[in-house]
Amino acid sequence: MIRSKIIFGVVSCLLTTAAWGQSKPAYTAADIERHFSQKDLGAARSLCIGVESECAKTTGTRPKIGSGFDLIVNFNYNSDTLTEGAKANLDEFAKALRGASLDHSSFMVEGHTDAKGSDGFNMDLSARRAQAVVHYLEGRGVEASRLQAKALGKSRPRTQDPSAPENRRVEARLQGE
């Protein structure tokens, strides 16, 4: 009797964990559309009262809005296989790209790696990762002509630790940025 309760408890725990572990996207298609539909507002405009050297410090340009978007498509070590979580996020991205506000936009899909391994190996791996995302999006109805895969290897780590798993990712940018 005790053994069956333990087994039932383990099975129940596993089922709960499996249901909890189902992949929900980290963002929605609406989030993506909002991100990319914001326009660059140009140079900041301000009025400075003072001498020229003081005013030069306060002027500048606004950062460009709507550029890179972290697709939150991470990969396991030495892998270009999409995880279930990555697929859930890419499904939302594909939905956004088919939406009215982005249906004529083209995107650069940039593949990244961590710092483990040689430059040549990481360039090849990042190219395969970017291509895996492009193929997946094409399978979800996004025209191939709107997507360009680009390998960046380990050249742009996301974290202070270049070997961290968060650096194994794919990001998307509007073409021309």
pLDDT higher for 58 or 168? 168
The residue-averaged pLDDT of 154-177 equals 88
pLDDT of residue 75: 84
pLDDT band, residue 11 (cuts 50/70/90): very low
**C-alpha distances in Å from residue 23, one per residue of 85, 139, 147, 163:** 5, 19, 25, 25
Tell me if 122 sits within 8 A of 153, measured CB to CB. yes
Report which of residues 137 and 29 the model is more confident about.
Answer: 137
Least confident of 5-14, 131-140, 141-150: 5-14
17, pLDDT greater than 60 = no
Average predicted confidence (pLDDT) for the chain: 76
Angle subtended at Cα 176 by Cα 31 and Cα 138, rounded to the nearest 5 degrees: 60
Q: Is the pLDDT at 20 greater than 80, yes or no?
A: no
Express each pLDDT in 114-142 by its tens digit: 999 999 999 999 999 999 999 999 999 99
Contact between 68 and 172 under an 8 Å Cβ cutoff? The reply is yes
Could you tell me if 73 and 149 are in contact, meaning their C-beta atoms sit under 8 angstroms apart? no
Q: Give 104-168 as a DSSP string.
A: T--EEEEE---S-S-HHHHHHHHHHHHHHHHHHHHHTT--GGGEEEEE-TTSS-SSSSTTSGGGS
What structural domains does the chain harbor? 24-174 (3.30.1330.60)
Instruction: Give dist(CA 133, CA 144) in Å, integer.
Output: 11
